[in-house]
Amino acid sequence: MGRQPCCDKVGLKKGPWTAEEDRKLVNFITLHGHGCWREVPKLAGLLRCGKSCRLRWTNYLRPDLKRGLLSESEEKLIIDLHAAIGNRWSRIAAQLPGRTDNEIKNYWNTRIKKKLRQMGIDPVTHKPLTQMQMQSTPAQTLLLQENDTEQKQQEQHNEPDPDQNQSSNGTVETLVSRAREPHDDIEPLQNFNMEDSNFNMEDSMQLFNVCSPTSGISLSGRTEEVDSDDSDQVSKSFGNGSSTHSQYIGRESSGVKAECGLSGWDQMAGVLGDPLSEWNVDLESWAAGLDATAASASAWIQQLPDCQWNDFQGDFEICSSKSCPETLQRLGPFLDDDEL
DNA sequence: AACTCAATCAACCGCCAGGTA
DNA sequence: CTACCTGGCGGTTGATTGAGT
């Protein structure tokens, strides 16, 4: 027989946490810290085991958690790290500020795995699936074929976005397009009130597409706000299909806090100077609403020679030419070598 | 409107490693 | 060295939600 479960004591509650339980736990840890987890439920007045309290705090109540969809850069980082170290979710989570191992594990199992298979990549070995098919048993081959059928059916259901840019690996563009679809009908935020705790993610997510269909310059980015009970966040990211630079700004009810959970991609290219610095000085606008962000982005784009900013009801596109040296120089940090 | 099915993700379970008496 | 305790980890489950019919 294995070890007895830690929650087998009569009277200890299991299952989903109530708002009241959350409040008790948050209040206690805020005031006293968690110390010994076994003592936490007793001292906080909770009928839970310490382990349950620890998981609830770690995976859901911690104030430094990010919420919402993972960004393109985060997803790419997860894929890269998984290829390097496998299912070591806590190690992977350590590289993604504000994300939990549980969240990443779920995201991997429900989305990335599927997506890699659709791209013909085995999510376990990160090698092309055709190789696996050649090496697999008849039963495994049958399974893979069934997966292919499912993929085709899914692809038929997912109508491609006509505006979608094709890139060599498609990672960022695909993600941006996916994120766009459910939000095409979103009205731009008007009179956004930072103190208003009722704003929601659906109402506040908008995207930026920065691309040039004729020149080959392809930039994409998005901004999103994520609502949670205790903290709100604004994040922004820009990518060129192979690397993405992201930054988020944590916001508390008391005001704006530039928390900046940065992934390694930012530092890699050192792009926090120009042009993002011009956005950084506008943190208040970022946090106050995406209209301001859009205006800021629009202003920056339009000051570039030979650039045009097009507004498509919340989604944006920039048309530019590769023939202008200054534009190339300023967009350079976001471009692959072969695009320059 | 009712039903089915798939997707999502919070929560649980059992195991392991490290620390300590 | 051993036993025990605790925190952490990865795999899995099951309730909920949304899409499709």
Q: Given a cut of 50, is residue A314 above it in pLDDT? A: no
Residue A152, CB, strand B, below 7 Å: no
The full set of domain ranges for chain A reads: 8-63, 68-129
Whole-model pTM?
Answer: 0.47
Q: Tell me, what's the pLDDT at A80?
A: 86
φ/ψ bin of A72: left (φ > 0), alpha (ψ from -120 to 50), beta (otherwise): alpha
Which helix (H) or strand (E) covers residue A210, if one does? Answer: strand A206-211
| Cα A134 from Cα A101, distance rounded (Å) | 33
Mean pLDDT taken over chain A? 53
Nucleotides, chain C, CB distance < 7 Å: 5-12, 15-16, 20
Q: Tell me, what's the pLDDT at A73?
A: 84
A8-63 and A68-129 in the same fold: yes
Check: CB of residue A224 under 8 Å from CB of residue A247.
no
Q: Tell me, what's the pLDDT at A306?
A: 55
Residue A32, CB, strand C, below 7 Å: no
| Cα A176 from Cα A296, distance rounded (Å) | 20
The mean pLDDT value for A139-143 works out to 40
Most confident of the following: A41-50, A149-158, A198-207, A285-294: A41-50
Residue A38, CB, strand C, below 7 Å: yes
What fold characterizes domain A8-63? Arc Repressor Mutant, subunit A (1.10.10)
How many CB atoms within 10 Å of residue A205?
Answer: 21
Q: Given a cut of 50, is residue A139 above it in pLDDT? A: no
CATH H-level superfamily of A68-129: Homeodomain-like (1.10.10.60)
Q: Given a cut of 50, is residue A279 above it in pLDDT? A: no
Q: Tell me, what's the pLDDT at A225?
A: 34
Nucleotides, chain B, CB distance < 7 Å: 7-16
Q: Tell me, what's the pLDDT at A87?
A: 86
The mean pLDDT value for A197-215 works out to 25
> Bigger pLDDT: A20 or A309?
A20
The pLDDT tens digits of the residues spanning A61-84 come to 888 888 778 888 888 889 888 888
Nearest nt (C1') to A88 (CA)? C10
The pLDDT tens digits of the residues spanning A142-170 come to 344 334 433 433 333 333 332 333 222 32
Of the candidate ranges A110-114, A129-133, A261-265, A330-334, the one whose mean pLDDT is the lowest: A261-265
Q: Tell me, what's the pLDDT at A308?
A: 52
| Cα A81 from Cα A89, distance rounded (Å) | 9
Q: Tell me, what's the pLDDT at A294?
A: 43
Of the candidate ranges A71-75, A93-97, A139-143, A203-207, the one whose mean pLDDT is the lowest: A203-207
Q: Which residue is nearest to nucleotide C12 (CA to C1')?
A: A106
| Cα A239 from Cα A31, distance rounded (Å) | 41
Q: Given a cut of 50, is residue A239 above it in pLDDT? A: no
Q: Which residue is nearest to nucleotide C16 (CA to C1')?
A: A16
> Bigger pLDDT: A212 or A30?
A30
